[in-house]
Structure 1
Amino acid sequence: MGLAEAPGLDIQVELVWSPQAGDVRQRLLTVAAGASIEQALRACPDFADQLPRLGVLKIGVWGRLQPLCTPLRERDRIEVYRPLTVDPKESRRLRFRKGSARVASRHRPLGGKIGL
């Protein structure tokens, strides 16, 4: 346990969530050392409208899913993930149909590289 995580001291964490598409919110929070993800979420007044759904939301720290009881460390980034509204494969198919023109590859052609 480092000095910044000693009992009785506060740590700073970041909370990032998107209540709806196109709306990303970010807050810096100061919580007690050893606080859990759930305690940090409950301490953020801007996140209060999401608390009733806390049991069904997927939550992670630095891109990895974590349970609500996970203790936080200094400078952790708590991320709250929204469920997908559209299947990514279906979305890609729809975009392709709309454009109907084939998208050129952004990679250089291999001619000359493989000794042909």
Structure 2
Amino acid sequence: MAEHLLQVEVAYATAEQQWLLTLEVAAGTTLREAVRLSGLAEQVPGLDAEACPLGIFGKVVKEADQQTVVDGDRIEVYRPLMIDPKEVRKQRADKVARVFKKAKR
């Protein structure tokens, strides 16, 4: 009997380039296995696909090593943050506060 295959996409993007790879995987394949099978790590120098967080259609999946794919899933490989968004907001607020303080003088 033929094995049932599911069609999924693996997506990854940098500031310079985007990858959207379509592949067929066996039922029961986990998200992390699908990323491995896509060959994305070989196409993107320096990408550690084993450590990157994964998501499906914009929602982070905490157990990517255990969650199985569903036909039509778009598995997104997320890059690590270079700077904490909270820190960026804090720096921006401090800068605005300094500008207003100077303007009141």
Q: Normalized against structure 2, the TM-score is what?
A: 0.65
In the other structure, the counterpart of 2:6 is: 11
- Whether 1:64 and 2:69 are equivalent positions in the alignment is no
Secondary structure of the residue aligned to 1:42 is helix
Q: Cα RMSD (Å) of the superposition?
A: 3.0
User: Residue 53 of structure 1: which of 41, 48, 53 is its match?
Assistant: 48
Counterpart of 2:60 in structure 1: which amino acid?
Answer: R
Which ranges of structure 2 fall in alignment gaps of 5 or more residues?
100-105
In the other structure, the counterpart of 2:30 is: 36
Q: For 1:17 and 1:88, how far apart are their aligned partners in 2? A: 20
Q: Cα distance 1:84–1:54, how it changes in 2: closer, same or farther (>3 A)? A: same
Q: Normalized against structure 1, the TM-score is what?
A: 0.60
How many residues of Structure 1 are paired with residues of Structure 2 in the alignment? Answer: 93
Q: For 1:12 and 1:50, how far apart are their aligned partners in 2? A: 25
CA-to-aligned-CA distance 1:30-49 (integer Å, 9 cap, x gap): 11122111221121123335
Larger radius of gyration: 1
CA-to-aligned-CA distance 1:70-96 (integer Å, 9 cap, x gap): 1111001111111111333554656xx
Secondary structure of the residue aligned to 1:15 is strand
Q: For 1:71 and 1:51, how far apart are their aligned partners in 2? A: 26
Percent identity, please. Answer: 29
Which ranges of structure 1 fall in alignment gaps of 5 or more residues?
1-6, 101-116
- Contact 1:59 / 1:68 at 8 angstroms: preserved in 2? no
